[in-house]
Chain A
Amino acid sequence: MKIALCSSFVPFVDGGGRFIVEWLQRKLIEHGHEVERIYLPFVDHPQDMFAQMVAYRLIDLTESCDRLIAFRPPSYMLRHPCKILWFIHHFRLYYDLWDTEYRPVPDSVAGRAIRDTVFAADTATLSEARHIFTNSRTVSDRLRHFNGIDSEVLYPPLQDADRFRSDGYGDEIVCVSRVEHHKRQHLLIEALRHTRTPVKLRLCGMSCSPPTYSEELKALASRLGLDGRVIFEQRWISEEEKVERLASALAAAYVPFDEDSYGYPSLEGSHARKAILTTTDSGGVTELVVDSVNGYVCAPHPQALGEAMDRLFLDRSRASMMGEAAYQRVLDLGITWDKVVQKLLA
């Protein structure tokens, strides 16, 4: 089958939005399909956003492929008789982030008209899809709430998940993630102060935004006298290093604020058979982690996280059991490429 994978992109910025497309591309080729990947630019400035949407709309792939799979907005505005969506997020500034400081235009008559137009354009073009899959319940809920559209959750798997392994359960809680304020590495550092055991914390990952936050983290660790117990690796972590860090970890931590999906860090930790430490307000992560089964879902407070860290440190057999349960949880949810390919091509 000839399949076009279409998404929007920001030139020179990598991330989950590209991984899902490129990993799927590889799998579809392995399954014997012809695949063309189409990344188009999009800038969500209110003044020329609609002209760009029209451009997407005018692109004609109807005769050039058997099936179109669309991802980031507004790639679903392309026309195709067999349009399938793997919808990973809305134009969030106009949707769930409207009532926050991130709102891009004033909440005035004019601003609301822009928002309404985004809603209308989205709803009309989303409705054309033969089937809509999302990456999480959170995103499915938003589609239902804002656009009145039903969808099916199709969790995105990792590429080559088999390379993750466990070599036992050491002294470190490992967090491999971009270093960003909304990923809340500071919460993990503050949690250490409340621990009574010598449990350690390893923070791996690069900062994409200005380096202030990563500097703050280092200062925070010093101020709390945690210098030896927080290990910083603030750089690009290779896939091999990631496997190694997780293999010897006591558990994996991922505590973002209200994330859409379960997040690759928690999935990676699960494949390495580690309990996942997260918080009740982490959004999609809580779709994966069941408290005290395959990790701990703590209140988003340092003290609660610190107690959970101690419990993991003091009871390694429990940490190991929860790690196995984390691996089992991924299997139970059916997060595999075979399932993804079968669903998207059904």
Chain B
Amino acid sequence: MKVLVVNDMVPFLRGGAEALAEEIVRRLNGTKGIEAELLSIPVKWEPAERIIEEILICRSMRLYNTDLMIGLKFPAYLVPHSRKRLWLLDQFRQAYDLWDLGQSNIPKTPRGHEIRQAVIEADNHCFPDCEKIFASQAVANRLLRYNSFDSEILMAPVNDPELFVGGEYGSYIFCGGRINAGMRQHLLVEAMRFTRSNANLVVAGAADTPADAALLQASVERHQLNDRVHLDVGFLPLTRIAKYVNEALACAYLPIDEDSVGYATMEAFGSAKAVLTVSDSGGPLDIVRDGDTGLVVHPDPESLAAAIDRLADNRNTTIKMGKEAHALWLSMNVTWPTTIERLLG
């Protein structure tokens, strides 16, 4: 069976969705009887008026020599096909929840309302023709709320689970992932000022901008935390990230209202590490349960410091929570083979 995965692209930009799309194709190609390829349609989001053209472009495309289409993002999933499934990584949030929050690029003018309505109608026109729609919990909730469509929950598995196998429980808290203000690594650095235990902090990952990295570095120096906070900034090989995770006491992950559980959370759980997160982090809260598989506290430095101390001072409890996290993760069976099976099933 020939499966075409259809995604957006912003030329010369690559992020998590692009990496996931390629991984889906790679995993599909590793499946018996399946041939897979990726179609990426260039998209431009600004100005808002442009969205109308993007919808038209995708709806005018025609596919040939394809048995099954798997659409990932708006507006690429609007490309017509008689056998279509969606793994909805995102709708166009500017027309939905971000519109409601006043964070949309669509102006609240009469024309803006029309543009928003065009997005909603394009979606509502597309979804009924899909054989199945898969989504993360947060995306599924929005889809139900705004479009009244049901979907099946599907999480994107860790790409190289064999790297995240756990190891000795060290004396540091590890925070991986992209470094930017929204990921709030700065809160963890500030928290280290208030800790009383001997716990250290390791932050590793690629910074979105040089300024993001500089801010973090400046904070470490201002608070004279050089000997307790280790920053490892850059595009690091996954093996290095895995070593940090495997040898950590616990992991921390503090995104703001993230849609998905997050790779950092999944990798920590796979390595049997408890995860420290905060009450407004969104996706991670689906599996990080306070006192059970990690700690959930208020997003401020003092609360985080108290949590870090609790993890460091009660090592046995921390390790036990890590093992709970691991058991929960295994029971969820979020692996590539099961994911591909569900996508095609």
Interface residues of A (CB under 8 A from B): 2, 4, 10-13, 34, 36, 38-43, 45, 48, 51-52, 54-55, 58-61, 63-65
Contact = CB atoms under 8 A, between A and B. Distances in A.
B53 interface: yes
B327 interface: no
Given A55-B56, A59-B42, A41 B12 contact: no
B40 A41 contact: no
B36 to A, nearest CB: 9
Nearest to B35: A12
A60 B62 contact: no
Q: Which of B10, B12, B40 gathers most chain A CB within 10 Å? A: B12
Interface string B1-37: 0101000011110000000000000000000000101
Contacts of A10: 64-65
17 contacts: A10-B64, A12-B35, A12-B37, A38-B9, A38-B40, A38-B42, A41-B62, A41-B64, A43-B64, A51-B60, A54-B56, A58-B57, A60-B50, A61-B11, A64-B12, A64-B42, A64-B44
A39 B11 contact: no
B63 interface: yes
Interface residues of B, number: 25
Interface string B91-103: 0000000000000
Contacts of A58: 53, 56-57
A76 to B, nearest CB: 16
B10 A39 contact: no
Interface string B39-68: 111101000001001001110111111100
Nearest to B79: A41
Given A11-B65, A52-B62, A54-B60, A40 B41 contact: yes
Contacts of B61: 40-41, 52, 55
A10 B10 CA distance: 22
Given A39-B39, A40-B41, A60-B44, A11 B9 contact: no
A12 B65 CA distance: 7
Nearest to B63: A41
Given A61-B42, A63-B44, 5 more contacts: A10-B64, A10-B65, A38-B11, A40-B61, A60-B50
A39 B64 CA distance: 13
Contact of B66 (A12, A34, A40): A12
Q: Which of B2, B11, B57 gathers most chain A CB within 10 Å? A: B11
A2 B12 CA distance: 8
Contacts of B63: 11, 41, 43
Nearest to B69: A11
Contacts of A52: 60-62
A41 B2 CA distance: 15
B64 A64 contact: no
> Top 9 closest A-B pairs, CB basis?
A55-B60, A43-B62, A64-B11, A36-B11, A51-B60, A55-B57, A43-B64, A58-B53, A58-B57
Contact of B62 (A12, A45, A64, A65): A45
